[in-house]
Structure 1
């Protein structure tokens, strides 16, 4: 092994050795609490994004509603307890009990039309 390759190997581990020496000195001086605090903070910074990701996924699964528009049957996705406008037909909708309902003024009776066929007389 040549001097140059050993110098390159030492260059790659030098920051880690320096960090270990600093930690050892701080704990020898009675400042181990500082090292522990920094390690806890570092662990929290690594763990917080993972917890936030899974927490956001859990919240979205509980809060998102996917249903069809009651007017044009266009599939929509929205948050619970929100009002929105159907992008297909423009109807104002509100999310109630996991389904989309037409947003109508108080006292309006919503009627569904049914086609009735008449028998043909020959």
Structure 2
């Protein structure tokens, strides 16, 4: 009957851990405990850095991700604040400012909205 090799406790593994512990103890006894502490602090920072980066990225994304409707076709989509993009529905160039989509028009362009007027027949 063969035992699982990952569950076996071997003397080689014990010797390796004892050697690491002996080196740490020797460095502390000689007066180089600061070296061991700096390695432990560096290891802790390496473990915390991805968590801090993830939380920071989520915070930045929540502040800069804007969901609004296209001013031309009223299609709702998402973009990053202070960027220029095209509407995926109608292709209109847009810029995102102050949390809303605005048409990207040359200076001097006058925006006009069409108004539907009902026709009435006038009888003489």
Deviation at 1:73, TM superposition (A): 1.5
CA distance in 2, matches of 1:39, 1:54: 23
CA distance in 2, matches of 1:109, 1:63: 29
CA distance in 2, matches of 1:68, 1:15: 63
Q: Given the two structures, how large is their TM-score scaled by the length of structure 2?
A: 0.82
CA distance in 2, matches of 1:103, 1:43: 48
| Residue 42 (structure 2) aligns with | 41
CA distance in 1, matches of 2:64, 2:58: 10
CA deviations on 1:31-72 (whole Å, 9 max, x unpaired) are 101101100100000000000000000001111111111111
Q: Which runs of 5+ in 1 are unaligned?
A: 1-6
Deviation at 1:8, TM superposition (A): 2.0
Q: Which runs of 5+ in 2 are unaligned?
A: 1-7
Report the 3-state secondary structure (helix = DSSP H, G, I; strand = E; otherwise coil) of the residue aligned with 2:9: helix
What value does the CA root-mean-square deviation take over the aligned residues?
Answer: 2.0
1:60 aligns with 2:61: yes
| Residue 22 (structure 2) aligns with | 21
Deviation at 1:15, TM superposition (A): 3.6
Deviation at 1:121, TM superposition (A): 6.8
Q: Given the two structures, how large is their TM-score scaled by the length of structure 1?
A: 0.84
Report the 3-state secondary structure (helix = DSSP H, G, I; strand = E; otherwise coil) of the residue aligned with 1:35: helix
| Residue 99 (structure 2) aligns with | 98
Bigger share in helix = 1
Q: How many residues align?
A: 116
CA distance in 2, matches of 1:71, 1:58: 31
